Amino acid sequence: MTPHTVALSTPAPVNRISLRPHNNAAGGRLRPRANQRIRLVLADDHPVVRRGIVLCLERSPNLRVVGEAADGREALRKVRKLVPDVLLTDIDMPHLTGLTVAETLRKELPHIKVLLLSTRTDTEFVLRCVQAGAHGYILKQASPEEFVQAIETVHSGAAFFSPDVTRLVLNRLIRGNGQRLDKADLTNREREVLTHVAHGLSNKEIACRLNIGTRTVETHRERLMRKLEIYSVAGLTRFALAKGLITLPEVATA
């Protein structure tokens, strides 16, 4: 398909939403403004998969696939050239993974929404994806209607997670964090640092946000890890999610 260059409108503001699966109930669909189709680049290293997704998406009058890519490097080239509204990309691809592409776009073109495509549902992997800069996560076995809904949702500025992913993540959080300390056992400053860590901020960025020294942030972070007996960013993020300090969509849109 021959790419066309169009002027981008100002991105819609990010809306914070609670953690809940999306549905297809009447009135629940998010649609772009009249006469404005969502421009999409699709990246997957399997031609048959790409063709199947394109055929599904072409049925929607709101969507337009403006480019395709067979690996991560090509995906970045296409996105930089075409500047679409949404990138729908597989995670496991040659040369550059979907995670690397998401991380790169988060820095270079943060207004472009990244919707990751995968078959994996394990909690740490999903959290790693949203921390990389993904605005949504959809399973390959999703229905055509769910694909359209996911694209429309992330384009609107909200986060989208397949209902199966949301359910599995919540179940894991409930089982895995039931015996841990409560958020009330943390100081106010520790809760602030934890929230920023879960949003993917570096120690330097946290220090700027809280107007304190970087070394002070490092000290709070070390105390957090010892107090909670959690020694990874993914683990701290799970704790923050389980205790209601953040929501999964907040991590995705941070």
pLDDT of residue 171: 63
Q: What residue spans in the chain does CATH classification 1.10.10.10 cover?
A: 171-253
Q: Which fold has domain 171-253?
A: Arc Repressor Mutant, subunit A (1.10.10)
Per-residue pLDDT, averaged over 117-134, amounts to 80
Is 108:83 a contact under the CB 8 Å cutoff? no
Q: What homologous superfamily does CATH list for 38-166?
A: Response regulator (3.40.50.2300)
What are the E-state strand segments in 91-205? 113-118, 136-139, 160-161
Nearest to 81 by CA among 5, 15, 139: 5
Q: What residue spans in the chain does CATH classification 3.40.50.2300 cover?
A: 38-166
CA distance 213 to 219: 10
Q: pLDDT tier at 119 (50, 70, 90 boundaries)?
A: confident
CA distance 146 to 9: 25
At residue 205, the 3 state secondary structure works out as helix
What are the pLDDT digits (tens) for 228-251?
878 778 778 878 887 778 876 655
The amino acid at 58: E
Q: What is the secondary structure of 16-80 as a DSSP string?
A: P--S------TT----PPTT-PEEEEEE-S-HHHHHHHHHHHTT-TTEEEEEEESSHHHHHHHHH
Beta-carbon contacts of residue 253 (< 8 Å; ≥ 6 apart): 14, 16, 135, 157, 158, 159
